[in-house]
Chains A and B, each alone.
Chain A
Amino acid sequence: MKLSLKWLSTFMDISDLSVNEIVDKMVKCGFEVEEIVHLSQGTNLVVGKVIECKDHPNSDHLHVTKVDIGSEILNIVCGAPNCREGLKVIVAKVGAELPGGEIKASTIRGVASDGMLCSLKELGVDENLLPEESYSHNGIEELDDRFEVGDTDILEKLGYDDTILDVSIYANRPDCLSMFAMAKEMGAILNRKAVLPEFDEKSAVGKATSFVLKSESNNCPHFLAKVVNHVVIKDSPEWMKQHLRANGVKCINNLVDISNYVMLETGQPLHFYDLRSNPAMEITVRDDYEGTYTALDGIDYPIEKGDLMITSEGKPIGIAGIMGGDNTKILNDTSSLIIEAALFDHAQIRRTANRLGLQTEAAARFSKGLEPLCQNKAMDRAVQLLIELADADDFEETVEYGKPDYEPYQIRETLKHLNSLIGKNYNMKEATDVLDRLDLTYAVEKESFVVDIPSYRSTDLKIPEDIDEEIVRLTDFDDLVSTLPLMPQTVGKLSKMQKMRRIIRETLNDHGMFDTVNYTLVSDRYIKEAILPKGEAVELISPLSDARRYVRTSLMNSLLETLSYNLAHYNENVSLFEISKVYAKDYEEERLGIVMQGDLIDNKVKHISVKSDFYVLKGILLQILSKLGFEMGRISLRENKLDTIHFHPYQSAVLYMGDQVLCIFGKLHPVYLKTLKLDDVCYAEMILSVLDEANPSKVKAPVLSRYPSVSRDISLLLNEDIKAADLLDEIRKAGGKLVKKAEVFDVYQGEHIEQGYKSVSLNIVYEDKDKTLKTEEVNEIHERLLNDLLTHFEAVQR
């Protein structure tokens, strides 16, 4: 909402307040001022007359002038093409402060110049606010006879002495998109009475009419139309032009200007049709038209079913609530017209305006909602102004379709309820003072007050709490005390998943890995290349771009993209992770993604480096699971048969919790990585929701053995396909309870080992919880175990 302070001052005296004081008060009362625009700025300005204008001796376009400003004659060099003898011009004297800086006495190409002849643009006037006929578009402003040499009130006389506040209006106050309601609001804010023009019932004039008005759409519940058989087209008065310009509205002629002006005043978009274009004397609102239609901007718009159209004799004559039609618009010779003041459904207007890309003032107002009596007020005001400014005469009676949706009502509030909600101690006077400022009528009954709600506040004031907000808003609120809720004690704690996330993040951080947050919305490539997707991806109806069309079904691509970004920016040894939800149709789960590239540890001081490979990743995953209470016994590791497109078929695996896939991990497939211009990357994607549903093992103190253990090593030569896990399982099976620990400490293939075979060295620790094992006992078990391994795996002892 653009609020012209000059216009505002026609409703109340604000001459005692500075712009900043006004803005501060508005902000306190809930109106944010986004921008303060001074229509023009300039000090030390005076009207001068060019009494001599010669070409500059050293320039092909500059002029050397003598300018009479009454008190003296100044030499001024001027570059404007329209500079000539006899002109009345705006002179900025030496010392003048203009938006472009201070004017100083200077010498221009060898000629002294004591000031500047100004264009309005140089005084800060926005080019769009200049009248079309203004000379300032291409040169200095040429002043007319109203101006006398020596005058200093130039900007005032031109109407550019205004300040415009760009006020943001909350969705609950669409009434404030009108100057009248805003003036009332400003009256409340500044605590002074706003005096609005009287125009009640002004449209109750006119003879009987044959005009027919219909709506065939539910989206037009109320429509007023009035035929005016005589109007005189001419220029609008200067004050109206100034107010319109200040609001960024182009001035055309008195008729068009009145329709725009009444919209600014009342908030109701009006439309005037040339009566000649409607010989049928009939208007029907329809929403079933399909086809192109040329609006008054001369552009063809594709109209679809559902769009509200104003029609006559079945043919469209305007896009309802958005823009009038080219075939029915006011022309230079219009002498009679039809006034339209209608209510159209805000959602439908918004849809049509968005689709057509036609964001007009009218569309914006309908979209945000109108106060219920808006049509009637606008009709009254339009008739009044047409009579005053367009010699309107020979009216026909107003035709009405439907009824305004408003019945007077009241809201009752008590001081007790007010104070118990706010936590303050308002008394009745403080409360009713606010109602007085808002110009609301009310009755006080003991500790309660009953407020009458006028139509223009009915969009916002509905329940007692709404009245409370008005009181809070318009009284000083900075003295509100700070307390804490008085209520039964509650225990605040993190959920299991929330705790898990923290443990995972801390653990991975300790390995030098970075927590990342990536975008949820991804391209279709990400969906095609997803890891373990759980169904069809969720697709947006209207995405901002194809790159952000789907809700991601896995985290891998986001992390790989982030990895690529980092590598491209000269970061090395990048290990990243992300914890986030992923989605599919009717499906949600939380996942952890880990990507590792280069070395996990690379310490030049200690000459240590640990390359990020399958085993490093596996170890970290098992560490996380163990910290979360899931030891290897609860989880099984199996061959990766789920996805060998993205993963290296021989360097990847899947972790299961029971039958549920918990995690797929390993080296990514070199062919896949090549498509991303990457090489040698390990990745894991773990489904945290699986862990959230499972019960972690209870923490139990370890029982320490009081008896010594015995350690033995075995080296075997066996087929390279035999898995370490199988060897260890066999050892545990054969050794039973006495095997306390068994591990592989070396695997060797190469020289001295036949192709297809490998040498595996194992360490086994024996221990009996109840006694010291004798050497013979150990020998016996160890021998049995060794023989078992040799036969079972067709191995040879080395």
Chain B
Amino acid sequence: MLDLELLKNEALKAISEADSKKLEDLRIEYLSKKGKIQGLMAQMRDLSAEEKPKFGQLVNDLKNAVSTAIDQKKEMLEKEILNARLKAEKIDVTLDAYVPKTGTMHPLTLVQKELEDVFIGMGYNVAEGPEVETDLYNFTRANTPEGHPARDMQDTFYVDPTHLLRSQTTAIQMRVLEKEANHLPIKVICPGKVYRRDDDDATHSHQFMQCEGLVIGESITVADLKGTLELMIRELFSKDAHIRFRPSYFPFTEPSFEVDMTCHICGGKGCPTCKGTGWIEILGSGMVHPNVLEMAGIDSKKYTGFAFGAGIERIAMLKYGIADIRDLFTNDIRFLEGFKR
């Protein structure tokens, strides 16, 4: 019995002092079939039948103790090695990262996309049309016949007596009205480039973008227009924004309204951006003029509708704080880089 205790102490001491190579030797020395512990079994023959199971139990316990000690030691040694290796792999995490290059979408693309997404969510489609237009769709159908004083409001680039660069995306609306006259209701937005004979400066550009919207159905009201525009403004600018209508004039709507929104900079308190008024003019709108519906072949007694139009540059300039409209057409990548989202 003494032998067992001695052997155990001797083994445990050796294990605790071993390195990983020595540990494998110790495993063989003690635990292999010809090892020291197995050797103890030879003593079994000299024991009585009564003592045999007891002794067997003791040897087994010894075997387990040594085996556990070796496993634990092994685990410990592996951990040490791993820790040493990890430590050797230390890097400076503050060094510059590998940043994949990302380009950006143009701010005008971003605003157009945002508008498209808001209105698609409300069940609108996105209509487009030619930029080299006829005066029929650009003016006549929009209740602006030849000689109408409102043609004076837009100095237009003509390419021949009846063709022009469209001066308003209203031209797209007029095409949609004609095409869908027998497939009512209509719910579309019409984004696109337009052109006017303006000299370029910080706030004017001979080329710019508009996004107009058009809804035609039964019993559409000014209140519906207000609700729709309020949703749009809140998505684009601020969840708390409000809008107000000011009477205005467009040949193709009656009544017509300029729409102001709560200043997104000061929240309506008054600041230099809104010239202290708390309001910012953001778009034009109104109820589609009965003449416009009739010219497209739609019964203006049965159907009404609203239309609105906003300048995409204006929205971009307000939203991103762009002071000079020409920056949008210079495409300096240092400027474009700012529009990552």
Q: Which residues of A contact B (CB under 8 A)?
A: 27-30, 170-174, 345-347, 350, 367-369, 420-424, 463, 465-466, 468-469, 472-473, 477-478, 480-495, 497-498, 502, 505, 508-521, 538-544, 548, 551, 562, 565-566, 569, 571, 574-576, 581, 583, 588, 600-601, 603-606
Q: Which residues, 198 to 232 on B, are CB-close (under 8 Å) to A?
A: 199, 206-207, 215, 217-224, 226-228, 230-231
The interface residues of chain B lying within 8 Å CB-to-CB of A575 are 103
Contact A488–B185 (Cβ < 8 Å): yes
CA distance A542 to B196 in the complex (A): 12
Specify which of A421, A486, A497 is in contact with B222 (CB 8 Å cutoff).
Answer: A421
B160 and A541 form a contact (CB under 8 A): yes
Does B149 have its Cβ within 8 Å of any Cβ on chain A? Answer: yes
The CA-CA distance from A368 to B126 in the complex, in Å, is 36
Q: Establish whether residues A490 and B206, one from each chain, have CB atoms under 8 Å apart when the complex forms.
A: no
Given the known interface contacts A480-B226, A487-B217, the answer about A517 and B331 at a Cβ–Cβ threshold of 8 Å is yes
> How many whole Å from B49's CB to the nearest CB in chain A?
63
Q: A514-B336, A541-B160 are in contact. Are A171 and B221 (CB under 8 A)?
A: no
Separation of A703 and B337 alpha carbons in the complex (Å): 42
List 7 A-B pairs, minimum CB-CB distance, nearest first: A512-B101, A423-B223, A423-B221, A30-B247, A469-B255, A170-B249, A482-B227
A sample of 20 inter-chain contacts (CB < 8 A) reads A172-B150, A420-B219, A421-B287, A424-B222, A463-B291, A465-B254, A469-B254, A484-B227, A484-B228, A486-B224, A488-B185, A492-B123, A492-B126, A495-B126, A519-B207, A541-B157, A544-B199, A551-B132, A569-B334, A603-B98
- B46 located at the interface, meaning its Cβ lies under 8 Å from any Cβ of chain A in the complex: no
Chain B: which residue is nearest A472 at the CB level?
Answer: B255
Known: A515-B336, A539-B159. A487 touches B223 (CB 8 A): no
Q: Given contacts A514-B104, A521-B207, are A347 and B255 in contact (CB under 8 A)?
A: no
Q: Note all chain A residues with C-beta closer than 8 A to B126.
A: 492, 494-495, 498
Is B181 located at the chain interface by the 8 A CB criterion? no
Whether A571 contacts B332 by the Cβ 8 Å rule is yes
B264 sits at the interface (CB 8 A):
no
Which residue on A lies nearest to B247, using beta carbons?
A30
Choose among B103, B106, B149, B337 the residue that contacts A367 (Cβ–Cβ < 8 A). Answer: B149
Q: Which of B13-21, B32-40, B59-67, B112-120 contacts A (4 or more CB under 8 A)?
A: B112-120
Q: Inside 8 A of A347's CB, which chain B residues have their CB?
A: 146-147
B contact face: mostly helix, strand, loop, or mixed: mixed
B333 neighbours in A (Cβ, 8 Å) = 514, 566, 571, 574, 576
Contact A512 B102 (CB under 8 A): yes
Q: In the docked arrangement, what's the CA distance between A29 and B116, Å?
A: 33
B contact residues around A487 at 8 Å (CB):
185, 187, 215, 217-218, 220
Asked if B215 and A516 sit within 8 Å, CB to CB, the answer is no
Query: Closest CB of chain A to B93's CB: distance in Å?
Result: 13
Mark contacts of B312-341 with chain A using CB atoms, 8 A cut-off: 1 yes-contact digit, 0 otherwise.
000000000000000011111110110000
Q: Are B120 and A493 in contact (CB under 8 A)?
A: yes
Cα distance A490–B248 in the bound complex, in angstroms: 30
**Closest chain B residue to A583, Cβ basis:** B132
Tell me if B97 and A605 are in contact (CB < 8 A). yes
| Residues of B close to A502: CB separation below 8 A | 113
Q: Enumerate chain B residues within 8 angstroms of A174, measured Cβ to Cβ.
A: 149
- Indicate if the CB atoms of A514 and B331 lie closer than 8 Å: yes
The distance in angstroms between the C-alpha atoms of A760 and B119, with both chains bound, is: 55
B122, B228, B248, B329: which contacts A30 (Cβ < 8 A)? B248
A215→B273 CA distance, assembly (Å): 54
Given A517-B328, A520-B207, A576-B331, output 20 extra A-B contacts at Cβ < 8 Å. Answer: A171-B150, A172-B251, A369-B149, A465-B255, A483-B226, A485-B187, A485-B220, A487-B187, A489-B123, A490-B187, A491-B123, A492-B119, A492-B125, A498-B116, A515-B104, A519-B206, A521-B207, A541-B160, A571-B333, A581-B130
Closest to A586 in B: B132
The answer for the CA separation of A539 and B130 in the assembled complex, in Å, is 16
Cβ of A588: which chain B residues have Cβ within 8 Å of it?
130-132
Contacting A541 at CB < 8 Å: which of B159, B185, B223, B255? B159
State which of A170, A492, A541 has its C-beta within 8 Å of the C-beta of B122: A492
Residue from B101, B113, B287 within 8 A of A465 (CB atoms):
B287
Q: Which of A463, A469, A510 has the most CB of B within 10 A?
A: A469
List chain B residues, Cβ under 8 A from A566. Answer: 331-333
Interface string of B87-114 (1 = CB under 8 A from A): 0000000011111111111101100010
In the complex, A539 Cα to B254 Cα: how many Å? Answer: 35
Give the residue name and chain of the B residue nearest to A173 (CB).
B249
User: In the complex, which residues of chain B have a beta carbon less than 8 angstroms from the beta carbon of A583?
Assistant: 131-132
A516, B107: Cα distance in complex, Å: 9
User: Interface digits, B113-144 against A, CB 8 Å rule (1 contact, 0 not)?
Assistant: 10010011111111010111000000000000
Taking a contact as CB atoms under 8 Å apart, the answer to whether B247 and A29 are in contact is yes
Contact assessment for B101 and A483 in the assembled complex, using a CB-CB cutoff below 8 Å: no
Would you call B249 and A172 a contact (CB within 8 A)?
A: yes
Instruction: Tell me if A565 and B228 are in contact (CB < 8 A).
Output: no
A488 to B125, CA, bound (A): 14
Cβ A517 vs Cβ B149 within 8 A = no
- Interface membership of B290, Cβ < 8 A: yes
A368: which B residues are within 8 A, CB to CB? Answer: 149, 152
A492 to chain B, nearest CB (A): 4
Closest Cβ–Cβ distance, residue A646 to chain B (whole Å): 21
> In this assembly, does B262 line the interface, its C-beta being within 8 Å of a C-beta of chain A?
no
> A520 contacts which chain B residues (CB < 8 A)?
131, 165, 193, 195, 207
Q: Are A492 and B187 in contact, with the CB atoms below 8 A?
A: yes
Known contacts A423-B223, A465-B289, A509 near B105 by CB under 8 Å: yes
Would you call A492 and B105 a contact (CB within 8 A)?
no
CA distance A10 to B287 in the complex (A): 38
Asked if B153 is at the interface of the complex by the 8 Å CB criterion, the answer is yes
Determine which of B103, B185, B224, B331 lies in contact with A565 in the assembled complex, contact meaning CB atoms within 8 Å. B331
What residue in chain B is nearest A600 (Cβ atoms)?
B101
B244 on interface, CB distance cutoff 8 Å: yes
Asked if B169 CB lies within 8 Å of chain A CBs, one says: no
Residues of B within 8 A of A605 (CB): 95-98
For residue B179, which residues in chain A have a CB less than 8 angstroms away from its CB? none
Q: Are A422 and B222 in contact (CB under 8 A)?
A: yes
B237 CB–A CB distance under 8 Å: no
Q: Decide if B304 is an interface residue (CB 8 Å cutoff).
A: yes
Q: Is the CB of B247 within 8 A of A473?
A: yes
Asked if A490 meets B185 with Cβ closer than 8 Å, knowing A30-B249, A420-B221, the reply is: yes
The yes or no answer to B197 lying at the interface (CB within 8 A) is yes
- In whole angstroms, how far apart are the Cα atoms of A112 and B339 in the complex? 61
Question: Do residues A517 and B329 form an inter-chain contact, with CB atoms below 8 A?
Answer: yes
**Shortest distance between the CB of A550 and any CB in chain B (Å):** 10
B239 within 8 A of A: no
- Asked whether any CB of chain A lies closer than 8 Å to the CB of B245, the reply is yes
Q: List the A side residues contacting B153 at CB < 8 Å.
A: 171
Contact B331 A422 (CB under 8 A): no
Distance to closest chain A CB from B157 (angstroms): 5
- B55 neighbours in A (Cβ, 8 Å): none
Question: What distance in Å separates the Cβ of A269 from its nearest Cβ neighbour in chain B?
Answer: 16
Proximity string of chain B (154-173) to chain A, C-beta cutoff 8 Å, 1 when within and 0 when not: 00011110000100000000
**In the complex, which of the residues B116, B207, B223, B244 has the most CB atoms of chain A within 10 Å of its own CB atom?**
B223
Given contacts A469-B247, A492-B124, A514-B104, contact A565 B149 (CB under 8 A): no
A405 to chain B, nearest CB (A): 14
Min CB distance A786 to B, Å, is 41
Q: A509 CA to B104 CA in the complex, in Å?
A: 6
Q: What's the Cα separation between A472 and B132 when bound, in Å?
A: 37
Q: Is B256 an interface residue (CB 8 A)?
A: yes
Among B103, B199, B246, B337, residue most surrounded by chain A Cβ atoms (within 10 Å):
B103
Q: Report if A486-B223 is in contact (Cβ < 8 Å); known contacts: A492-B120, A492-B121, A520-B195.
A: no
Min CB distance A487 to B, Å, is: 4
Cβ-neighbour of A480 out of B97, B149, B207, B222 (below 8 A): B222
Chain A nearest CB, measured from B305 CB (Å):
9
Is there an interface contact between A541 and B158, defined as CB atoms closer than 8 Å? yes
**A516 to B110 alpha-carbon distance, docked (Å):** 11
Contact partners of A172 in chain B: CB under 8 A: 150, 249, 251
